[in-house]
Amino acid sequence: MTQQTLDFSAASSEPPEIESEPNSSQAENPNAITSEQWQACVDEHWLSELDVAMAQWLVRHTSNAPEVLVWLTALLTRQSGQGHVRLELADLQNNPARYGLDAPVAAQAKHCLSAYSSDALQRLLSLSNAVARAVKSPQPLVLDAGALYWQRAWREECDVAARLNERLATQISTDQVALEQLIDSLFTADASSQDQRAACRLAAQRALSVITGGPGTGKTTTVVRVLAILQSLAERASEPPLRIALAAPTGKAAARLSESIASQVAQLPLSESVIKHIPTEVSTLHRLLGVMSQDNGQRYRHHATNPLALDVLVVDEASMLDLSLMAALMEALPAQARIILLGDKDQLASVEAGAVLADLCCAADHANVCDVTATNSTTAEPSPAHVAQLKQSFRFDAQRGIGKLAHAVRTGAATIAPNNDDYAPEVRRIDTLNTLFAGYDDYWSSVQTGESAEIILKKFDSFRLLCALREGSHGVIAVNQACERYLRKAEKITPFDKPSPWYVGRPVMITRNDYGLRLMNGDIGICLQSPETGELRVAFWDGSEQKIRWLLPSRLPSSETVFAMTVHKSQGSEFTKVAVVLPTTFSPVLSRELIYTALTRARNAVELCIPNAQVWRLAVAAKAQRFSGLQQRLLLNL
């Protein structure tokens, strides 16, 4: 989990760092936390250096920061780094173990917090000049509904909720007869299309709609037909063609959607005048918004005063949308524009703080309107729901293999680690890592026989090792190193230049955006010999130009070897086969959502490396939870 970038109006220009000497507050207050105590928290991995630095920043810049507020600031930063938007004070006091307060190094923090009732704690915080009470102000912290926020996160949550609620309250007048005729022309009449028909009906009549479903349930098929319906309705009403944009959070997800959309549009039984106005090129959200340097305080080119020129926006892989990105997107979207979100609500949430898709789906669920009722009535009123769920998978058989296991994991029923007979032949359990590395044999054969870069990239994307963690003996770093040792021993890796880490066939993943080179975090390239010069170059597939781009290794932004990648990084990707590697001991990062996401990256086969069956049981039993107030703010309007 990456640490969230924290920003608030009262921030110091000095970069925060751990104090090496007691400051004036510590000298005056014998109960203040010493630098030695802070360092112990970091050494024991209870807090990060950023958590501590932000707490110390508060001490330096607040005249009345009681010790309990200092601890809360560190914990709030810790929560932000773990994907939560806020720190819920009642939960903190009722479930201290959830926050690591049972660790010996946290004894002082636990003692300090236990000295206050929930009401007394809130009264104390409200007296600090560092804490605002749910009003826009320069204070860095906000106390709202019994939860502590960083001001920026609170402001983004309020803004996103307000803009979403405006659209949730908006129903769009539609020619019902024409709508049903178009739906009938685009779908078969059998029961298998009823969910998709209902989703089209919903999206045609709402300013905001969510189409959710697992892999292979037809989300892309459905949204292509939604766009065809919207353009056809505009044409029939003699209105100008709708301005439509397609976007996804990552380059990989955008590339996959581009390919899928293009093949779907070509099959539509509609006139050329409609088809030509359905876009097939998908942008990343950052490119759509236009990332800028923040020298002028503006992060994106498009915002409230320079909105996107759009009538319809489709966002794929919306489970990856974090709160901050959603806030920027909603600000840049014109008031009259529809937004359609596609995603799997059961997948992992975003890496950064927030879980926007899950909050939208849960809000609908709590309002008892989550499922869309299919109806062929031409006089049907728009459903009060904003969520359409596609339930039938056309990729996985729910009674066998990957589909059966994914369902059992998603519902928490697969607490017993699977044996090879349980989900055969698609799912196989193994106990040693080396067995997994053979999954790259076909890829290495292509590298060694000098096939084209395009073929090599496609073969590399047919298999992937997915790890739950980065660190540890079964984490990404160690597994990548073990894979390279295995390949060297098998004489498949031949060093091109011994002092260099680069060799023919080395796969690398970009870990930092470089807009000049048009490389995004998550893009994958393969180091190969240039067909023109014979020198080492890294080959990337350029989806927009449909060709290979060759770049010098020295020109690449930050990158790393990627035989193995985290499950989080695999979101938005799809492979023919995956190998899922679990750690030897349980980690709070593990959850049923992580296991489900890993399993459903595969189309045909899954290998599971489960060195400890207890880890599997605990992971499937653990349901991921993101703390935010967005769901409650949405429920107010449902």
Q: What is the 3-state secondary structure (H, E, C) of 529-558?
A: ECCCCCCEEEEEEECCCCEEEEECHHHCCC
pLDDT recorded at residue 189: 78
How far apart CA 135 and CA 83 sit, in angstroms, is 24
For residue 134, pLDDT beyond 70: no
Residue 449 labeled ligand binder? no
Percent of the chain surpassing pLDDT 70: 89
How far apart CA 466 and CA 448 sit, in angstroms, is 24
For residue 75, pLDDT beyond 90: yes
For residue 565, pLDDT beyond 90: yes
For residue 379, pLDDT beyond 90: no
pLDDT recorded at residue 498: 61
Residue 219 labeled ligand binder? yes
For residue 14, pLDDT beyond 80: no
Residue 623 labeled ligand binder? no
* Strand order across the 141-144 sheet: 87-88, 147-150, 141-144, 131-132
Question: Which residue would you say has higher pLDDT here, 623 or 15?
Answer: 623
Residue 136 labeled ligand binder? no
- State both tokens at 468: 């739950």
Is it true that the peptide bond before 425 is cis, omega within 30 degrees of 0?
Answer: yes
pLDDT recorded at residue 544: 67
Q: What is the mean pLDDT of the chain?
A: 85
For residue 367, pLDDT beyond 70: no
For residue 29, pLDDT beyond 60: no
- Our CA dihedral for 51, 55, 58, 60, rounded to 10 degrees, sits at -110
- State both tokens at 362: 């849960």
Residue 600 labeled ligand binder? no
- State both tokens at 217: 């349930």
Per-residue confidence band for 298, with pLDDT thresholds at 50, 70 and 90: low
Question: Which residue would you say has higher pLDDT here, 378 or 311?
Answer: 311
Q: Concatenate the DSSP letters of all residues of 39-92 into one string.
A: HHHHHTTSS-HHHHHHHHHHHHH-TT--HHHHHHHHHHHHHHHTT-S-EEHHHH
Residue 214 labeled ligand binder? yes
Q: Angle formed by the axes of helices 441-448 and 453-460, to 10°?
A: 170
Per-residue confidence band for 546, with pLDDT thresholds at 50, 70 and 90: confident
Residue 576 labeled ligand binder? no
Q: List, in sequence order, every residue forming a beta bridge with 389; answer none if it has no partner.
A: 212
pLDDT (mean) for 73-87: 93
Residue 188 labeled ligand binder? no
pLDDT recorded at residue 397: 79
Work out whether strand 559-561 and strand 507-510 pair parallel, antiparallel, or are unpaired.
antiparallel
pLDDT recorded at residue 4: 40
- The backbone torsions φ and ψ at residue 92, rounded to the nearest 5 degrees and listed phi first, read -60, -40
pLDDT (mean) for 226-249: 92
Question: Which residue would you say has higher pLDDT here, 359 or 263?
Answer: 359
Its sign, for the CA torsion 569, 574, 576, 580, is: positive
Per-residue confidence band for 229, with pLDDT thresholds at 50, 70 and 90: very high
- The backbone torsions φ and ψ at residue 567, rounded to the nearest 5 degrees and listed phi first, read -60, -40
Report the candidate in 561, 558, 563, 573 with the shortest Cα–Cα distance to residue 519.
558
Question: Which residue would you say has higher pLDDT here, 521 or 151?
Answer: 151
For residue 328, pLDDT beyond 90: yes
CB 437, CB 483: distance < 8 Å? yes
For residue 101, pLDDT beyond 50: yes
